[in-house]
Amino acid sequence: MFLTMLRAKLHRATVTQCDLHYEGSISIDKDLLEASGILVNERVDIWNITNGARLSTYAIEAPRGSKTFGVNGAAARHFQLGDRIIIATFAQIEEEKARQHAPTVVMLDENNDIVPHVA
């Protein structure tokens, strides 16, 4: 049996841009993609801490060091600049391996800088 497990999470990111007329997706700083292990074009869930909106889209790369979290396309109707969000990915893992699995969690401050995290 396979279980759906949290694979990676960017926690409490701050939305830095919204572009209703862009094709879709969420733009994430390349440094933060690498820190979390989230891949370009990977499906991500976005949970808006500020207003409770939840949706799925895919990640695209924003310039390295930009601290960008840009919500694009129709999803931009559910987010505003300054909203705090959680971005999460999941993976199918065999039950025995799932018992030992630990996701990558990257905690962010209001400036989208990585802060220490103790699990």
- Supply the residues annotated as catalytic: 25, 58
Task: Please answer whether residues 79 and 15 qualify as being in contact, where contact means their C-beta atoms are separated by less than 8 angstroms.
Answer: yes
- 64 contact partners, CB below 8 Å, separation of at least 6: 29, 30, 31
Q: Cβ atoms within 10 A of the Cβ of 53, count?
A: 16
Task: Please answer whether residues 64 and 78 qualify as being in contact, where contact means their C-beta atoms are separated by less than 8 angstroms.
Answer: no
Q: How far apart are CA 8 and CA 16, in angstroms?
A: 21
